[in-house]
Amino acid sequence: MLTRFAVLGTACLAAVLGVGLWRSEHFQALDYDDLHRFDVGKHRITIETRSFAINSGDNGAAELVVQCPSGQKMLGSRFDNDLYRDIRPAYITWADIDEDGYQDLVIWKSGLSHQIEANEFVSSIDGEVHVMAVQCQRPFPDGFYIW
């Protein structure tokens, strides 16, 4: 009987850790021109994506409006939605940036040289947007960009 509980407990622990690792590395694309709601720590925040295209083009400037407890924070971005690309104005992942033991919302935007960049995160401590001490860059993962 004790062996069954040990096996069940180990399986549950592995599942929880696996979901945590998957969530932290899984990029979630934010839809164009939409309002996205997230619970970060004890705080409810929203990110509104706005895409601006000159002459009805399929790429251009974008803006992220992050609604935090203290007010709005505007972040500039870019998008590209043509036949070969689907680069959204923003992507999010989860990581413990402020080292408080809780997951923070990391905001990724398209950068130069076919990369995505994370410069800001929403802290689980205060629900506010903060600049990351070390900016992150990654090549676009499979499915983001077709050459």
Residue type, 41: G
What percent of the chain lies above the pLDDT cut of 70? 76
In the three-class reduction of DSSP (H, G, I as helix; E, B as strand; rest coil), residue 7 is classed as: helix
Residue range(s) defining the domain that contains residue 50: 28-139
Looking at per-residue pLDDT, the higher value among 20 and 44 belongs to 44
In the three-class reduction of DSSP (H, G, I as helix; E, B as strand; rest coil), residue 23 is classed as: helix
Domain count, the chain: 1
Q: What's the rounded Cα separation, in Å, for the pair 13 and 16?
A: 5
Q: Which pLDDT score, from 0 to 100, does residue 19 have?
A: 42
pLDDT digits (tens, 9 = 90+) for 28-40: 999 889 999 999 9
Q: What is the CATH number of the domain that holds 104?
A: 2.40.128
Res. 62 pLDDT band, cuts 50 70 90? very high
Residue 37 covered by a domain: yes
Residue 23 covered by a domain: no
Residue 104 covered by a domain: yes
For the residues 120-143, what does the mean pLDDT come to? 88
Residue 7 covered by a domain: no
Q: Which residues contact 106 (CB under 8 A, 6 or more apart)?
A: 92, 93, 94, 95, 97, 118, 121, 132, 136
Neighbours of 139 (CB within 10 A): 11
DSSP 8-state assignment for residue 55? G
